[in-house]
Chain A
Amino acid sequence: MSDKNSESSLSNYGIYTISENLEFTLPNVEIKIEKMGEHVFSYVRKDAEENILKKIIPIKSSDLTIELCPIRPLNHPARRTSHVYLDFESPIFLSEGSAATVFVSCPIEIGVFLVHGKHKDSLDCFTCDPAHSRFCLYGSPESGTLCKYTKSEIVESYEDSTPFHNGILKINIKNELDHGFTISKIVFPISENSLYYKNSKTIIDSLTATLKKKLALEIIDIDANSIQIDWTRSPTYEAIESVRHMDMGVD
């Protein structure tokens, strides 16, 4: 009950036009935007550990327009990788030749964008769950891939997104191997997936994971698929960069 109450008092994602003052209440984070002068606003973000970030925003118009939205979980504690490692709480077993569709949780970060005309400039980004924003290594220390790590729950539908903490990702898994297989993790470059939001929920572009043989190796081939949905698509916070396709080995 208390959780529901606290959720209901949280702000929603969206585009806000501020003429005087506005406050956002997010889990562990508070944002205050105040008008300082005719064309100047201040932006202050305070987290649970009392760390304060302050920015002054001079603008041409008298109102400030910002967009608060989910972004890819790649910027906190620092931008080091484009890959995400989803470690499933409950591994998925697929028998030979079978296929399944699962919804899994995937961490997100929150982006604040300054909107002017058709342009959206990255103003700030943060995570509401800093305790779980960690890195891991997939592969060997010599040639592995650095990833953002998260424990991922298997959920029922897109509606199970936890506001400001995670988004829901649909994965279509297909086993083309000649034996059954248990999948306990998925590693993929999330820079190819867009995020969509509605109120305080988030959806991430879906993935197709195909277990197959490539030469003598058994691999999981992962591709991103964009989804058609009437939710609002988040702008991209980080600079777009091409990511080398990586075949994920099975083990």
Chain B
Amino acid sequence: MAFEFLQSLTDIEIVGGLTVLSLFIGGIIMGVGIILARTVRLLFSKYYAPKLPQDTAKNFGKLIYFGIIILSFLVFTSTTGVDFSGLLVAGGIFGIVIGFATQSVVSNLISGIFLMMEKPVKQGDKIEIPGSDITGTLLDISTFSARVRRFDGTIIRIPNESFFTSNIRSLSSTPVRRSEAIVGIAYKEDIDGAISVIEKQIRKSMVFVLTLPKPEFRVKELADSSVNIEILVWHPRDDWDQVGPKLLKVVKNALDNAGIEIPFPQRVIWQAKD
């Protein structure tokens, strides 16, 4: 009975030698292929991915999944016995049309592949894209876009093409970073004394400032109202928030406690006699 049913399916031809039975078998092959792809990807992500870098593991996972799907499709086409050459020609022409229409999509795809190969930054890195006001943690680089979680908690999606062609500043590829601040002291104050006071306070209260290299102090400018001193301190790369935003506060408190004047701009106006 079942045999007769299958025999009847072979007799029903859909198009160009493609029968219902071969389509049915092809469907089973594709189904098995998808289940296999998912299982292998699951096993890979459970047993092997933890040993690899996060982004490499993700790319390998995708490669395995889509590789098995494509293989299943090739098996499906070969079992059906359908001649796809005509379809390929038509597909080629159609592809050119689609290519022109979706240039940016293809460009993002290609840029994504190059980004995965070049790896200018990796998942989890803190990055800045100068000129575009984007600073944050790179979440991932996917097929068409990269996602960055900004420090205000929002997530921004950047098309791969624009990410690939931008200048990218990595904030976490070196073990340490430097923060700077400029403070002005009055002309009457002793510069060395002020520097000594600031240095002592930084050493005392800023635990993440490195002992070596030592904090550096430069007289930056003899400005209109003050002698401007530039302060450069190094800290571990992940502790910018413990140093950068607090540096000026520490410096001001140190100068206030030592009675060193931080002048405000002053202008002397001479009034001409009539």
Q: Is the CB of A135 within 8 A of B211?
A: yes
Q: Which of A134, A136, A146 contacts B207, CB < 8 Å?
A: A134
Interface hub of B176, B204, B236 (most chain A Cβ within 10 A) = B176
Residue interface bits B90-124, CB-to-A below 8 A is 1, else 0? 00000000000000000000000000000000000
Q: Is the CB of A146 within 8 A of B176?
A: yes
Does B165 belong to the interface (CB within 8 Å)? Answer: no
Q: With A and B bound together, what is the CA distance between A131 and B174 in angstroms? A: 26
Write out the residue numbers on chain A whose beta carbons fall within 8 Å of the beta carbon of B235. 135
Q: Is the CB of B204 within 8 A of A135?
A: no
Q: Is the CB of A145 within 8 A of B175?
A: yes
Q: With A and B bound together, what is the CA distance between A112 and B176 in angstroms? A: 31
Q: Which of B176, B238, B239 contacts A137, CB < 8 Å?
A: B176
Does B234 belong to the interface (CB within 8 Å)? Answer: yes
Q: Is the CB of A146 within 8 A of B236?
A: yes
Closest to B178 in A: A141
Q: Is the CB of A149 within 8 A of B211?
A: yes
Q: Is the CB of B207 within 8 A of A133?
A: yes
Name the distance in Å between B162's Cβ and chain A's nearest Cβ. Answer: 28
Write out the residue numbers on chain B whose beta carbons fall within 8 Å of the beta carbon of A149. 210-212
Closest to B239 in A: A78
CB-CB under 8 A for A142 and B211, given A80-B236, A131-B204: no
- The tally of residues in A whose CB lies under 8 Å from a CB in B reads 19
Q: Is the CB of B174 within 8 A of A134?
A: no
Q: Which of B176, B204, B211 contacts A141, CB < 8 Å?
A: B176
Q: With A and B bound together, what is the CA distance between A136 and B212 in angstroms? A: 5
Write out the residue numbers on chain A whose beta carbons fall within 8 Å of the beta carbon of B153. none
Those of B205-231 within 8 Å (CB) of chain A:
207-213
Write out the residue numbers on chain B whose beta carbons fall within 8 Å of the beta carbon of A135. 208, 210-211, 235-236
Q: With A and B bound together, what is the CA distance between A75 and B167 in angstroms? A: 36
Those of A97-156 within 8 Å (CB) of chain B:
130-131, 133-138, 141-146, 149
Q: Is the CB of B238 within 8 A of A141?
A: no
Closest to A131 in B: B204
Write out the residue numbers on chain A whose beta carbons fall within 8 Å of the beta carbon of B174. 141-143
Q: Which of A133, A141, A143 contacts B234, CB < 8 Å?
A: A141
Write out the residue numbers on chain A whose beta carbons fall within 8 Å of the beta carbon of B234. 137, 141
Write out the residue numbers on chain A whose beta carbons fall within 8 Å of the beta carbon of B178. 141
Closest to A142 in B: B174
Q: Is the CB of B207 within 8 A of A137?
A: no
Write out the residue numbers on chain A whose beta carbons fall within 8 Å of the beta carbon of B239. 78, 80
Those of B155-196 within 8 Å (CB) of chain A:
174-176, 178
Write out the residue numbers on chain B whose beta carbons fall within 8 Å of the beta carbon of A133. 207
Q: Is the CB of B211 within 8 A of A80?
A: no
Does A58 belong to the interface (CB within 8 Å)? Answer: no
Q: Is the CB of A130 within 8 A of B207?
A: yes
Residue interface bits A209-250, CB-to-B below 8 A is 1, else 0? 000000000000000000000000000000000000000000
Closest to A76 in B: B207
Q: With A and B bound together, what is the CA distance between A142 and B234 in angstroms? A: 12
Given contacts A135-B236, A146-B175, A146-B236, 15 further A-B contacts (CB under 8 A): A77-B208, A78-B239, A85-B212, A133-B207, A134-B207, A134-B209, A134-B210, A135-B235, A137-B175, A137-B234, A141-B176, A141-B213, A145-B175, A146-B176, A149-B211
6 chain-A/chain-B pairs, Cβ below 8 angstroms: A77-B208, A85-B212, A135-B235, A136-B210, A141-B176, A149-B212
